[in-house]
Structure 1
Amino acid sequence: MLHHKKLICLAVDDEPPALSLLEQYIDSVPQLELAAACNNAVDALAALQHHTIDLLFLDIQMPQWLGSDFIRTLNCPPKIIFTTAGSKFAVEGLEVNEVDYLLKPISFERFMKAVNKVMETHLSTAPTQNLFTEKESADPHLYFRADRKMIKVSLADILYIESLKDYIRVVTQTKNIITRKSISSLEETLPPQAFIRIHRSFIIALNKIDSYNSEMVEVAKKKLPISRMYKHEVGRLLKLEA
C-alpha cells in the first residue's frame, strides 16, 4: 500500500452478524475503506466488477459456493483473508494462496494482525509498514475487551503490559485494563520500534523507561525484571553494559 492510499476492501459473508462485525472493524481502521459488503458470491462478483478491490474478506463456507471455489473463478483475485467458523475449512485457503484466515468469532486484535500481514505484502516495492505506525493514523490504538465492552487504548498511553496467566494487565497513564488474552499474541500486534518484551511476563513501552540497568527496567516507579531469555535483545536496544 502506498503511504497515502487506503486499502479498498470487500467483505463477503452469508451470516449477517459476521458481516456486520467485519464492517465495523473495517470502518474503525483509518487505513481501510469498505467498498461493499455482500452476503453472497454473486453480489460479490458484481462488486469486483465495479470496484478496484485490494483486500477481500471472504467466508469460506457459504451456501452453494465455497469461498475458495469462488476465488478460482477470478482471473486476478485481490489479496484474500478468509473467514471461517471451523479450522477444518482453512485448508481450502491454502490452495488459493490466501494471506490469512480468521476463525469466527473474530476478535479485533486478530483482525488487526491479519490486516498487518496484508499491508506487509501488498506492494513489494513499498517499505514495510505496520498498521499502528502509519502516518495517516493520528491516534494509533488497540481495543481490549473488558467489562463487557471494547475499550480503546492509545498506544502512546501504554506504560507496560503484564501477563497474568490467561489474562493480561494493560497499564496506562490513567487506568489499568485486565482482559483475557495471552501476552505473546498481543506482542505480535505491537509495533516493535515502540515496544519490547523484557520478560515472559512483561512488555514495556520504550519511550516510558525512566531508568534501567542489566537486571531491571523502571517504568512509572515500577521496577520490572529483565529475564535471561530477553536480555540479549534488551541489551542491544538499550545498549546495556555486560
Structure 2
Amino acid sequence: MKIKTLIVDDEPHAIEVIESHISNFSELDIVAKCSNAIEAFKILQQTKVDLIFLDIKMPGLTGTDFIRNLKNPPKVIFTTAFENYALEGFDLNAIDYLLKPIGFDRFLKAIEKLFTLQKANYQKISLVEKPAEQKTDTFLYLRVERKMVKVNVSDIYWIESLKDYIKVVLKDKVLISKQMISVIEDLLPEDKFVRIHRSFIVSLSKVESFHSYSVELLGKEIPIGRNYKAACHKRLREL
C-alpha cells in the first residue's frame, strides 16, 4: 500500500531535495507539495495524507503549531535548519527530525523508522483481526551502486563484512553495499539471524549443517569465531 505523502516547505530547493530522496522509494507517493501551513491545511481537507515532510520555520504559522492544532495529524517528519526545535518536534510524536541540508544517508534512517513503525502497526492489527492468517515479511533497503534495493530478509543466506562494505548473499545473487556489519545487524530480526563471527551473520533457517568451528550454507563453509562459539551453538541447537 502506498504511503500518501505531502511536502511542506517555503524553500523550493528544500522541496526538490526531499522529492529527489523520495524518488528512491516506491512505497512513498507524493500527493502534493506546498509552501506554507495554510496551504497544507487546505490539502488535508481534500486529500488523504499518511505522512508529512514538514518544515518548521515558515511564514505565518510554524510547522509545530500547525501539527499541534490538527485534530488527527498524519505521521510527521520535521525538516528544518534549526536544531533548537528538536525537543518540541519530538514532543509532538514526530517520526524523525531532519536538519538541513538533508543528506540521503540521514534521510534513509528516517524512512527506516517510518517503515519499522508501519510494520509494527500492521502486525498489531493482524494479531487482533487475523491471528492465524496474516504473515508479514520484514525487509530492508540497501544502497547498491547508485540506487536503493529492497531486500526481503527471508531471502538472505548470510552477510559478510568487507571493511566499510557488506556482502549480502541471496540464493541467486550477491549484493555489495556500503554499510557497517554492526549497523545491519541491528536492523535484522534477532530471532532469525545470528552473528557467528566478527565478519559474518547467518540466517538460522538457511543453515544446512554445523560443527564446532563452522556452519554450512549453500554448500559454503563459514567459520565460527572463538568469541561467538558458545552463543552460536546455543542458538543452533534451539532450532
Q: For 1:58-207, what aligned pairs fall within 5 Å after superposition?
A: 58-62=54-58, 65-84=61-80, 89-102=85-98, 104-107=102-105, 109-120=108-119, 122=121, 125-127=124-126, 142-146=141-145, 149-150=146-147, 152=149, 154-155=151-152, 157-172=155-170, 173-179=172-178, 181-192=179-190, 194-207=192-205
Do 2:142 and 2:148's aligned partners in 1 also have CA atoms closer than 8 Å? yes
- For residue 149 of structure 2, what is the amino acid of its counterpart? K
Flag the structure with larger Rg.
2
Aligned residue for 1:47?
43
Amino acid at match of 1:208: K
- 1:20 aligns to 2:19 (yes or no): yes
Native 8 Å contact 1:198 1:225 kept in 2: yes
Which residue in the other structure is 2:131 paired with? none
For structure 1, list consecutive stretches of 5 or more residues without a partner in the other structure: 129-133
Q: Distance in 2 between matches of 1:151 and 1:184?
A: 19
SS in 2 for 1:43: helix
**Residue-pair matches, total:** 224
TM-score, normalised relative to structure 1: 0.70
**2:51–2:76: 8 Å Cα contact kept in structure 1?**
yes
**Matches of 1:92 and 1:43, distance apart in 2:** 22
The answer to which structure has the higher helix fraction is 2
Contact 2:96 2:110 in 1 (8 A): no
Return closer, same or farther for 1:182/1:74 CA change in 2, 3 Å cut-off: same
Cα shift at 1:226: 4.6
Give the secondary structure class of the aligned counterpart of 1:188.
helix
Q: Distance in 1 between matches of 2:195 and 2:233?
A: 12
The letter of the residue matching 2:117 is V
Percent identity of equivalent pairs: 35
Q: Distance in 2 between matches of 1:39 and 1:153?
A: 32
Contact 2:5 2:29 in 1 (8 A): yes
Report if the CA contact (8 A) 1:198-1:226 is conserved.
Answer: yes
Where in structure 2 are there 5+ consecutive unaligned residues? 128-133
CA distance in 2, matches of 1:85, 1:106: 16
Tell me the residue number matched to 1:35. 31
Q: TM-score with structure 2 length normalisation?
A: 0.71
| Separation (CA, whole Å) in 1 of partners of 2:215 and 2:56 | 46
Q: Which consecutive aligned stretches of 4+ in structure 1 deviate over 6 angstroms post-superposition?
A: 134-137
1:207 Cα deviation (Å)? 3.8
Mapped to 2, the partners of 1:194 and 1:47 lie a distance apart of: 42
The CA deviation at 1:140 is 5.1
The answer to whether the Cα contact below 8 Å between 1:215 and 1:226 also exists between their aligned partners in 2 is: yes
Stretch of structure 1 that moved more, 223-232 or 112-121: 223-232
State whether residues 113 and 189 of structure 1, in contact with CA within 8 Å, keep that contact through their aligned partners in structure 2. no
